[in-house]
Copies of this chain bind each other. A is one copy, B any other.
Amino acid sequence: MRHEIPPRSGTAFTLDRGQRLTVIDPQGEQVADLLAFRRDDIDEVISSGRTLDYASRIFLTTGDKLYSNRSNVLLEIVADTVGRHDFLLTPCSADTFRIIYGDTEPHRGCFGNLAHALAPYGIGPDRIPVAFNVFMNVAVDGASGALEVRPPLSRAGDHVTFEAREDLIVGLTACSALQSNNYAFKPIQYEIA
C-alpha cells in the first residue's frame, strides 16, 4: 500500500525490526526528511555524527547503516536509485525561514511538521536531531567548506529503501524549504513492506 505525504507536511509511524520502508519521490526533485527513534527507548535516535564517523563519508547510499547516538544500527539502506542525500543539516523550521529566507510569517517547516507528528509518541521538539534528508543535494566545497543546497538529483519514481534493524518510530516529511526542492513543493510517497 502506497501512502502519500502532501506538500509541506509530515507524518510519523512505527516500523518493526526487519520491515522495509521505501521513500518515493513521485514527481522528482523533492526532499523527504527522515528521523528514526528506538521505539522502546525514545532517547535513542539516529546520529549524523556517529554515522558519518563510522562511514568515513558524508554521502550515504546502498549498504550504508544509520547509527544511533548509542552506536547501534537503527536503519540500513538496502536500495537507492539516486545516491545523493544529505546528513549534515537539521530540518527546516520557522527559524530557518526567518533567518535564511527573511520570512516574517514563516511556515513551521519540516521541524514543526515532525514535532507535531512525533508528539503523540512522547517525542518533544528538543529531541529532533540532524535528519537524514532523503534526496537532498547539498554540495560541499572541500577547500572552502562552503555548502550549497542544489536541486535534488531525483527524477519521478526514484526511491530509497531502508530496512529497520530495531523496532522504530519514524518521522517523515515532504520538505517545506524552497531551495531544497528547486522552488516547487511536491508530495512524497512511501511504502512499508
Interface residues of A (CB under 8 A from B): 43-44, 47-50, 52-59, 69-71, 88-90, 93, 95-96, 99-100, 124, 126, 128-131, 139-142, 144-148
Contact = CB atoms under 8 A, between A and B. Distances in A.
A43 B126 CA distance: 6
Contacts of A43: 124, 126
A66 to B, nearest CB: 13
Contact of A145 (B54, B57, B89, B128): B57
Contacts of A147: 52-53, 55-58
B144 A59 contact: yes
Contact of A148 (B52, B56, B71, B131): B56
Given A49-B90, A52-B88, A56-B147, 5 more contacts: A49-B130, A50-B90, A53-B89, A56-B148, A69-B128
A43 B71 CA distance: 21
Nearest to A58: B145
16 contacts: A43-B126, A44-B126, A48-B130, A49-B90, A49-B129, A49-B130, A53-B90, A53-B96, A54-B100, A55-B147, A57-B144, A57-B147, A58-B140, A58-B147, A71-B96, A141-B142
Nearest to A145: B59
A146 B53 contact: no
Contacts of A90: 47, 49-50, 53, 69
A70 B130 CA distance: 13
Contacts of A148: 56
B146 A56 contact: yes
Residue with the greatest number of chain B CB neighbours at <10 A, chosen from A58, A99, A128: A58
Nearest to A42: B126
A70 B93 CA distance: 10
Contacts of A89: 49, 52-53
